[in-house]
Amino acid sequence: MSNRYETVFIMTPVLSDDQVKETVKKFAKILKDGKAKIVHEEKWGLKKLAYPIQKKSTGFYHLFEFEAEGAIIDKFEVEFRRDERIIRFLTVKMDQHHVSFAESRRSKKEVEA
């Protein structure tokens, strides 16, 4: 049985637009190769960090919401640790309340757009 997960990761601010897209594509491919289904994806862009990480005060944020087997998470996170373009990442397993909140937030954004 697959679970729903949400991963937010922060890429170093020194990347070009193309490098950011390439990094996102790499992690999307890892999910797809692991038979995960990407439910939603959001590019949050360059944001200020709450505190400096690796002497950087900003970073490119990106979110993936996906359904996958739990076994893929370890492989996915190992790739984040190996990639020097990633300065932080967090994956959480979504419970039913989290899923419904995320979906209602998305539908609210679509109405505003």
pLDDT of 42-74, one tens digit each?
999 999 999 999 999 999 999 999 999 989 999
Q: Domain count of the chain?
A: 1
More confident residue, 55 or 111: 55
Two tokens at 101?
A: 């909140």
Measured CA to CA, the distance from residue 39 to residue 33 in angstroms comes to 15
pTM above 0.75, yes or no: yes
Q: In b/e form, how buried is each residue of 46-78, taking b as 16+ CB within 10 angstroms?
A: eeebeeeeeeeeebbbbebbbbbeeebbeebee
pLDDT of 24-48, one tens digit each?
999 999 999 999 999 999 999 999 9
Closest-CA residue to 27 (of 88, 83, 102, 87): 83
The range of the structural domain enclosing residue 105 comes to 3-112
Distances (CA, A) of 40 to 12, 53, 102: 22, 27, 10
CATH number at residue 10: 3.30.70.60
Q: Is 16 helix (H, G, I), strand (E, B) or coil?
A: coil
